[in-house]
C-alpha cells in the first residue's frame, strides 16, 4: 500500500531507520475457555514463536511464565526433533492450558487488564538443568506498531522550500491495522532535553512545526508501509542559522495504542546555513584620528575602541599648522593636514616630509584644539567617516580602509570564521575583547572576556552601532 506526498535539498543525506518490532514482543493469542483454571492458547502462535530456535540434540521444556521467570504452565517438551504437548489439543489449532488454581486468577486478571503487554513470556529451558535457553515476551492480542525510515539532506537554508528531498517511509511492523494517525515534521534546537511539538506559526521559535509539515495517513494494515512525499515543506525564513535537529513523529497525537512508542520518533542532525559572502564590510563611520603635535601622540579610535596606536605610522611637522602622516603600507603617497585651513590632502609625487607634489583634497572634517598659523594646536581630530573594514572569507583577505587607503597593519589583526554567517575580528591591542559580525542578523557585537574563535564560550555581549553589508 503506497501513498505519495512532497519534501528537501542538498547532496548529503542522513538515513535513519526504526523498522524494528516493538520491544521484541511476540503475539500469542490467548482466550478464555469458560473453565475456572483453563485458557485456550493458539497453537500456531506457540509454534511460530519457537520456530526460529535451533535446538539441535537438546531436550527442552516449552513453558509459560511471568517476567520474573516463575513457571505458570509447562506447555510441552521438545525431544529428538519433535514436540510432545502436555495439554489437550483441539482441532489442531488451539491448546487448552491448565493452570494451578492459585495462579489462574492473577493470570486472567493481567490478560484482561492489558492484553497488549500482560507481562508474560514463553521460555525454552534445558529439561535436565532447567537453564533458560531463550525467552520471548508475549502479547496476547494483535497490535499495531508504527516505525519510520527517513532520508533527508542535513544542510538547508533559511526560507528554503523543501520539495522532493525528504523520503519518509512508515511501516506497520505489527499485526493489527493502524489508521487515521498524524505525521509531524519538526525542527528543534539542538540538544534540547525535552522535545515538544509546536503549532503553525508565521515566525520561527524553538520547536515549531514546519509550515505545512503535517500529514494524516489513512489505514495501514499490519506488515504494510507507505511513503510520504511532502507537497510543501518550507524552512522558516527567519530561523537563525546553526545546528538543529530534524524530527519526524509518527502518530503525533497518540491515536494508535502501541506497546512501544520509542520507534515512532525520528530525530536527526540538521545544519541550517546561509551562503558564505563574497565580501563582508563593516561600516566604521564613527572613526576618528587623534593627533597631538606636541608629543607626537597618535591613535585611531572607533568610539572607545582603539584601531591603531600609531606604531605603524610616521608623522612629520612641515609648519606649525601643517603636518604630514604616512602609514607603513603607503609607498608613494601621504596625507597632509592643514590645521588652520582645516583640510586634509592626499599627496602624490613628493617625498614624505617634503613640500610639493600633486594634492587631492579628502572630504575629512578637521577639528583642531587651539593653534594658529604660527602656533601648534594642542591636538587635532580627523573625523574619518569613510572608514570601513573589508573581509573576503574565501581568501581571508583583510583590509581596514579610510577614504580608500589602508590604515591598519594587517599582522596586528586576527580574523576567524565560526560559521558561514558568523565572523570574529580582533586587534592585538584589545585584551580580552573582539568583534563578532553576524551576516544573517546584520549586527556586530563587542564580546568581552570571551574566547576568540570559540563559539558559545562565555563572554559579555555588547551591541554596537557598526553597520554591516554583505556582497554575495
Write the pLDDT tens digit of every residue in 87-100.
Answer: 999 999 999 999 99
> Using one digit for the tens of pLDDT, what is the confidence trace for 302-318?
999 999 999 999 999 99
Flag whether pLDDT at 6 surpasses 60.
Answer: no
- The domains of the chain, with CATH numbers, are 13-22+143-272 (2.60.40.10), 26-139 (no CATH), 290-381 (no CATH), 387-471 (no CATH)
pLDDT in tens, 345-371: 999 999 999 999 999 999 999 999 999
As a whole number of angstroms, the distance between CA 262 and CA 127 comes to 37
- 71-80, 125-134, 260-269, 379-388: range with lowest mean pLDDT: 260-269
pLDDT of residue 15: 53
Within 10 A of 328 (CB to CB), how many other CB atoms are there? 12
User: Mean pLDDT over all residues of the chain?
Assistant: 86
Q: What is the pLDDT of residue 198?
A: 35
Higher pLDDT, 431 or 363: 363
Mean predicted confidence (pLDDT) in 243-261: 83
Exposed/middle/buried for 146, CB within 10 Å: 0-12, 13-18, 19+? buried
Q: Is residue 76 predicted with pLDDT exceeding 60?
A: yes
Residue 118 has pLDDT above 70, yes or no: yes
% of the chain surpassing 70 pLDDT: 88
Can you give the pLDDT at residue 80?
87
471 within 8 A of 276, measured Cβ to Cβ: no
The Cα–Cα gap between 192 and 186 comes to 13
If phi > 0 it is left, if psi is from -120 to 50 it is alpha, else beta; for residue 129 that is alpha
pLDDT in tens, 139-192: 888 888 888 888 888 899 888 887 778 888 888 888 888 888 888 888 887 655
Lowest mean per-residue pLDDT among 29-43, 126-140, 233-247, 370-384: 233-247
Answer yes or no: is pLDDT of 206 > 70: no
CB 73 within 8 A of CB 62: no
Lowest mean per-residue pLDDT among 245-259, 363-377, 406-420: 245-259
Supply the pLDDT for residue 2. 34
Q: Quick check: 389 pLDDT over 90?
A: yes
pLDDT for the residue numbered 257? 82
Transcribe 393-454 into DSSP letters. TTTTEEEEEETTEE-S-GGGEEEEEEETTEEEEEETT-TTEEEEEETTTTEEEEEES--TT-
Q: Which grid coordinates belong to 234? A: 518550507
Q: Is the pLDDT of residue 19 over 70?
A: no
Q: What is the pLDDT of residue 209?
A: 53
pLDDT of residue 229: 62
Beta strands in 229-321 (DSSP E): 242-250, 265-272, 279-283, 287-292, 297-302, 305-308, 313-319
Question: Which of the residue ranges 54-63, 76-85, 260-269, 364-373 would you say has the lowest mean pLDDT?
Answer: 260-269
DSSP, collapsed to helix, strand or coil, labels residue 126 as strand
Look at residue 84 and tell me whether its pLDDT is greater than 60. Answer: yes
Q: Rounded CA gap, 161 and 149, in Å?
A: 21
- pLDDT reported for residue 7: 32
Q: Pairing mode, if any, of strands 181-189 and 146-153?
A: unpaired
pTM given for the model: 0.63
pLDDT at 28 exceeding the cut of 50: yes
Amino acid at each position: 500500500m503506497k501513498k505519495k506526498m512532497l519534501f528537501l535539498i542538498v547532496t548529503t543525506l542522513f538515513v535513519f531507520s526504526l523498522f524494528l518490532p516493538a520491544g521484541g514482543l511476540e503475539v500469542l493469542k490467548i482466550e478464555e475457555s469458560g473453565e475456572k483454571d483453563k485458557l485456550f492458547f493458539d497453537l500456531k502462535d506457540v509454534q511460530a514463536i519457537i520456530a526460529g530456535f535451533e535446538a539441535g540434540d537438546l531436550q527442552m521444556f516449552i513453558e509459560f511464565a511471568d517476567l520474573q521467570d516463575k513457571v505458570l504452565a509447562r506447555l510441552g517438551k521438545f525431544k529428538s526433533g519433535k514436540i510432545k504437548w502436555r495439554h489437550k489439543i483441539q482441532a489442531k489449532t488451539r491448546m487448552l492450558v491448565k493452570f494451578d488454581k492459585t495462579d489462574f486468577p492473577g493470570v486472567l486478571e493481567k490478560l484482561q487488564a492489558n492484553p497488549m503487554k500482560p507481562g508474560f513470556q514463553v521460555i525454552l529451558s534445558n529439561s535436565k538443568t532447567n537453564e533458560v535457553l531463550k525467552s520471548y515476551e508475549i502479547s496476547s492480542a494483535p497490535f499495531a506498531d508504527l516505525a519510520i525510515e527517513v532520508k533527508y539532506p542535513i544542510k538547508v537554508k533559511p526560507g528554503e522550500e523543501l520539495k522532493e528531498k525528504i523520503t519518509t517511509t512508515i511501516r506497520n511492523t505489527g499485526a493489527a491495522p493502524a489508521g487515521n494517525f498524524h505525521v509531524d515534521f519538526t525542527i528543534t534546537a539542538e540538544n534540547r532535553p525535552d522535545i515538544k511539538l509546536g503549532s503553525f506559526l508565521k515566525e520561527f521559535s524553538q520547536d515549531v512545526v514546519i509550515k505545512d509539515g503535517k500529514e494524516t495517513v489513512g489505514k495501514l494494515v499490519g506488515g504494510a508501509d507507505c511513503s510520504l512525499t511532502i507537497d510543501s515543506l518550507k524552512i522558516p525564513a527567519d530561523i537563525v542559522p546553526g545546528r538543529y535537529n530534524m524530527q519526524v513523529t509518527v502518530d503525533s497525537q497518540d491515536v494508535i495504542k502501541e506497546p512501544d512508542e520509542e520507534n515512532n520518533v525520528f530525530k536527526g542532525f540538521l545544519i541550517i546555513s546561509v551562503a558564505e559572502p563574497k565580501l563582508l564590510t563593516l561600516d566604521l563611520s564613527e572613526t576618528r584620528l587623534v593627533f597631538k603635535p606636541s608629543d607626537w601622540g597618535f591613535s585611531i579610535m572607533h568610539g572607545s575602541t582603539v584601531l591603531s596606536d600609531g606604531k605603524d605610522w610616521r608623522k612629520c611637522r612641515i609648519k606649525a599648522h601643517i603636518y604630514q602622516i604616512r602609514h607603513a603600507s603607503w609607498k608613494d603617497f601621504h596625507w597632509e593636514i592643514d590645521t588652520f585651513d582645516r583640510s586634509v590632502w592626499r599627496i602624490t609625487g613628493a617625498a614624505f616630509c617634503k613640500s610639493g607634489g600633486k594634492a587631492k583634497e579628502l572630504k575629512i572634517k578637521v577639528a583642531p584644539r587651539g593653534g594658529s598659523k604660527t602656533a601648534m594646536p594642542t591636538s587635532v581630530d580627523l573625523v574619518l567617516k569613510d572608514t570601513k573594514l573589508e573581509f573576503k572569507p574565501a581568501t581571508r583577505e583583510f583590509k581596514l580602509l579610510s577614504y580608500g587607503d589602508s590604515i591598519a597593519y594587517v599582522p596586528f589583526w586576527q580574523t576567524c570564521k565560526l560559521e558561514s554567517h558568523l565572523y570574529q575580528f580582533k586587534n592585538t591591542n584589545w585584551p580580552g575583547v573582539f568583534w563578532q559580525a553576524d551576516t544573517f542578523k546584520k549586527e556586530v557585537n563587542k564580546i568581552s572576556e570571551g574566547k576568540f574563535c570559540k563559539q558559545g564560550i562565555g563572554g559579555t555581549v555588547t551591541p554596537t552601532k557598526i553597520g554591516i553589508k554583505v556582497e554575495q
